[in-house]
Chain A
Amino acid sequence: MSHPASEASPAPDASTSPVGAEGSVPATAQDAGPVAQPEPSGPALLEVKDLLVTFGRKKAFRPLVETRAVDGISFNLYQGETLGLVGESGCGKSTTARGVMRLVEPKSGSVKLNGKELLGLPIKELRPARKDIQMVFQDPYSSLDPSMLVRESIGEPLDVHMKMNRQQKTERVAELLRLVGLPPDYMVRYPHEFSGGQRQRLTIARAIAADPKILVLDEAVSALDVSTQNQVIDLLEELSQKIGLTYLFIAHDLSVVRHISDRVAVMYLGQIVEHGPTKAVFDEPAHPYTEALLSAVPIPSPKTQRSRERIVLAGDPPDPSRVPPGCRFHTRCAYAMDICRTVMPQPTPKVGGGEVACHLHTSGPMLQGRSLRIISTGSTRTIENDAAQVVA
């Protein structure tokens, strides 16, 4: 909250991004991180660069099989904004969160919080440094210790970071409960007495207990019913205004992400394929995967849903332990060219801000930053591709 850059940053609404014009200057900031303009200017609150997280299992007499769950991801998170990280299951979005939190140890890369490097920090020094970044998990049922009173659960960060006495703790917990819209007398109950939505409020209360600057929300509303889900989203928006929280919002539900995020990054097989201001990514997807992903989300309006173009991708995402060479999406991509099968595309700035990693925007014959939908025809396309068979 005390971040000096915060005052300068625009209101959390991507549609009004005032610095959008700077997006047309692709040469800037190429080495200052992958993220070009328009982004809130000033130093990032959280700077993630080339994050690599691998899972390996060494079995006797067999070579080490290494899965690069997160393969060189870079993004910045600025004070007061919400960055949505979307992708399908297995794309590495949750692993990214865990890597940032060092719940899994990244193999390489850099995670800077307020300019301070977290990776490689000894655990004793990491703990206080991590106070500013807290996490909310998907499953509200297993996120709370069933044997602990709500007061103890929510007070856990206070014990670790605040060194409060019992009385201060009770007061703070009551305050937190009210902040998340629950009556303070709930503090002497056990988690099993609460519904899913209430539990998620409790875990949010726990996450904000020690006044963090960033909340990492890993599918925090996915397990909830529609009406409950909105209550929690409202709560998050309210909290961001009240106590100036910054969110890294990880979800597979694109509608929710569109609603809550200022900027969005789309992940596929451990890499960010496209990112930019929410409106730009959703209205003008530049990566074929983003396009297909967006078209697959059904819209709760029968007329719109009937009339819109649907792209049905063939096949499943490839196994993360055997990623295809070149562009990882080429096996399911309708636009795949020869170069896509061999050369991995590099992030290129795009019109409207953000970047896209796709050869269509560098060496491709078409596009140059235009929306893909311009070139697509027909109402429902099934993208078939013989390369898909090779990898499967």
Chain B
Amino acid sequence: MTKAVSQSASSGAVLSDRPTLEVEDLFVEVLTEKGWATVVDGVSFSVARGETLGIVGESGSGKSVTCLSITGLMPPKQTRVRAKTMRLKEHDLLSLSPRQMADVRGPVISMIFQEPMSSLNPAFTVGDQIAEVLRRHEGLSRKAAKERAIGLLARVGVPNPARRFKQYPYEFSGGMRQRVMIAIALACNPDIIIADEPTTALDVTVQAQVLELLRDIQREHGMSIIFITHDLGVVADICDRVVVMYAGQIVEGAQLDTLFEQPEHPYMEGLLAAMPRMDNSLAELVSIPGNPPRVGAFPEGCRFNPRCKYADDRCRTGESPVLELAAPNHTTRCLRHDEITLTGTT
């Protein structure tokens, strides 16, 4: 798995300046009952300033682990992380000590998680938790931090921010808690926010609110967002560029429209066909047969081959294929992408 081609994965958007985040050949191993298992296998991507990169994949595809590793939040004793490059602005993330990493989290990179309830400490008021971040990273006084925190709460659309500042997480609804999480993530004006399934636990109408808020904030601050999700609808709504992960690897990466209209990997085609669409009930739902392989049980050859209707003998043996350019700015890990024509959506 030392392929120069994988570098091409990082060439997504054509942007003149250096990308905010650059990850090249990221490997993550975790300790399981049966020893070390590779859960992220040679992942490379970059995120430009102001760009929203979607990472799509089913559960167990390694999408969350990728991002937790970037932010240094994987449990150190049970994880081994290595990469060729992992650069966030001027910081080389590979060489940072845990302490230095903690200084980077907040002002440079921050995260929003799926479960707003478990991400907030129930024992402290919401305001304290926002103010703490500000005091820790910006050295603000108690009073200044409170003012900023109330401002942030107002910014993320929490009504009555001054009163809400003094309330505890349990007094907030799911959507409001996610707004608070966004306020905390925003507190130190990070250059990049990683949002890990931030709307999965929310109702659709609330999800629409949160997506709208993220879009507004991005427009205002020009920050980059990495948006992890399994919902292609959400991807279509908010992302500029997308990488698709399967069994620990990136299998396809392209600009949003290209990816949906002309997918170059059978897995993406399968996902698109499998998404029930609300605007078209007559389309037949096509399942991808089988289940995603679990960590440690990845098949030989292309990891998708047992579920792929296009697979031939080449796909079933040897190393897993490498990422290749299928078109400018469009990478795929499919050996047969030149031979087969895949259908997307319109």
- A interface vs B, CB < 8 Å? 15, 88-89, 195, 197, 225-231, 233-234, 252-256, 258-259, 278-279, 282, 292-305, 310, 312-317, 380, 382, 389, 392
Contacts and interface: CB of A to CB of B under 8 A. Distances in A.
Interface stretch (B67-75, B198-206, B220-228): B198-206
Contacts of A234: 285, 287
Contacts of A295: 208
B285 A312 contact: no
B278 A258 contact: yes
B346 A227 contact: no
Contacts of A15: 281-282
B102 interface: no
Contacts of B206: 88, 316
B237 interface: yes
A27 B236 CA distance: 44
Interface in B247-286: 256-257, 260, 270-272, 274-279, 281-282, 285-286
Given A233-B285, A296-B208, A298-B231, 18 more contacts: A226-B271, A226-B274, A227-B270, A228-B291, A230-B288, A255-B275, A282-B278, A298-B208, A298-B211, A299-B233, A299-B279, A300-B345, A301-B260, A301-B345, A302-B236, A303-B257, A315-B159, A317-B203
B285 A88 contact: no
B159 A227 contact: no
A255 B278 contact: yes
- Interface size bucket, B side? 35 or more
- 6 tightest CB-CB pairs across the interface, nearest first? A298-B233, A300-B232, A88-B203, A296-B208, A230-B287, A227-B288
Contacts of B292: 225, 227
Given A293-B204, A294-B278, A296-B205, A226 B58 contact: yes
18 contacts: A15-B282, A88-B203, A89-B203, A195-B291, A226-B230, A230-B274, A255-B275, A255-B277, A279-B281, A292-B205, A300-B232, A300-B260, A300-B272, A301-B345, A302-B260, A304-B236, A313-B205, A316-B176
Contacts of B237: 298, 305
Contacts of B234: 298
A274 to B, nearest CB: 15
B78 interface: no
Interface of B: 58-59, 159, 173-176, 203-209, 211-212, 230-237, 256-257, 260, 270-272, 274-279, 281-282, 285-289, 291-292, 345-346
B204 A296 contact: yes
Contacts of B211: 298
Nearest to A292: B205
Contacts of B282: 15
B256 A302 contact: yes
A302 B236 CA distance: 4
A13 to B, nearest CB: 9
Contacts of A389: 159
A300 B204 contact: no
Contacts of B260: 300-302
A305 B291 contact: no
Contacts of B233: 255, 297-300, 305
Given A305-B236, A305-B237, A230 B285 contact: yes
Given A294-B278, A316-B173, A88 B204 contact: yes
Nearest to A382: B212
Nearest to A380: B212
Nearest to B59: A225
B281 A282 contact: yes
A225 B290 CA distance: 12
A294 to B, nearest CB: 7
